Amino acid sequence: MLGTLKRSDHYLPNGASARGPFALQVTPESAGWTESSLRIANLEPGQRLTLATRNDEYIIIPLAGSATVANGAGTFTLKGRESVFTGPSDFVYVGRDSKFTLSTETGGRIALCGARAKNKLPMRYVAAEDVAVELRGAGNCSREVRNFGTADAFEADSLIACEVVTPGGNWSSYPSHKHDEETDVESSLEEIYYFEISAADPGDGSFTGAVDTSGQGFGYQRVYGTKERPIEVLEEVRTGDAVLIPHGYHGPSVAAPGHHMYYLNVMAGPGEVRAWKITDDPQHTWIRGTWDDQNVDPRLPLRPNSGE
């Protein structure tokens, strides 16, 4: 049975890293690294948090519900979304050495993607319609990538973040790849994967975009290393789980048939250049060549039934 298997130290099941107001709190200190962080706040209607960024920068993005972010630079209302499966969200960037208040009138699940920052950049708001959406891969390797905080889409000091939606039965983060060295072809980036799994989608047009909280929906995440830097992770993941990737090849991320997989990627590294440069596992990079003769999964971009 799965419960008898040894869990990886890099796997954080839902609730295991809850601290104070955060359902998930990953800091450089708790992760055993130096750069990346992630907090998930489940806010009740009317709840308010006052936070200081100190030497970090943040992108604040609703996973569900809406919120307001305010500091001396201004007040920004995030329209948010019903769930991560209903499309991209607007977001706010807050630079280092700042204080801000996060509040919500109706409640929400809010992600605070963080990274150590050397330079302070101004607070900014980006609307959901301005988030670049990319359909990557083909066939059963098709996925939807929302590049809201990637290096080529948004200015930050070191933080890189994006969202990936993988339809049920598909593989993403494949071919497996790594980014743990500073070279001409690779960046050294610590990465956090945070997962949400959709409620069952029978494929008959009744999918509402709801997130599964029963534990029925699941997927799998793989991480493996090299002979010089070994790491072994193979975990069954459900809504609210996270996986830490300090180094090594990661992928595939596999969505069980009938349940779509969402994951939030948060990355940062010590390099002078903010870039996402990767190296494929040479045993599997050939798979990219097979996509030329396949179509993108017609379920993408994934959106719930509108009822029309």
Domains and CATH numbers, the chain: 11-290 (2.60.120.10)
CA distance linking residue 146 with residue 67, whole number of Å? 20
Return d(Cα 42, Cα 50) in angstroms, integer.
14
Model pLDDT, residue 280: 98
In this prediction, residue 143 carries a pLDDT of 98
> Whole-model pTM?
0.96
Q: Give ∠ CA 74-80-84 in degrees, rounded to 5.
A: 140
Mean pLDDT of all residues in 97-101 = 97
How far is the C-alpha of 16 from the C-alpha of 18, rounded, in Å?
6
Residue 68 is which amino acid?
Answer: T
Task: Report the number of secondary-structure helices (H) and strands (E) in the chain.
Answer: 1, 22
Q: Which residue has the tokens 């890099």?
A: 10
Determine the 3-state secondary structure of 285 from DSSP: helix
Contact 63, 196 (CB under 8 A): yes
Residues 6+ away with beta carbon under 8 Å from 21: 41, 43, 47, 49
Query: What is the per-residue pLDDT for 4?
Result: 52
Q: How confident is the model at residue 305 (pLDDT cuts 50, 70, 90)?
A: confident
Residue 308 has pLDDT above 70, yes or no: no
Q: How confident is the model at residue 231 (pLDDT cuts 50, 70, 90)?
A: very high
Average pLDDT over residues 162-189: 97
Q: What are the Cα distances from residue 190, in Å, to 134, 242, 266, 283?
A: 23, 14, 8, 23
So what's the pLDDT on residue 177?
A: 98
What is the average pLDDT across 30-42? 98
Average of per-residue pLDDT across 22-35: 98
Q: What is the band of 2 on the pLDDT scale with cuts at 50, 70, 90?
A: very low
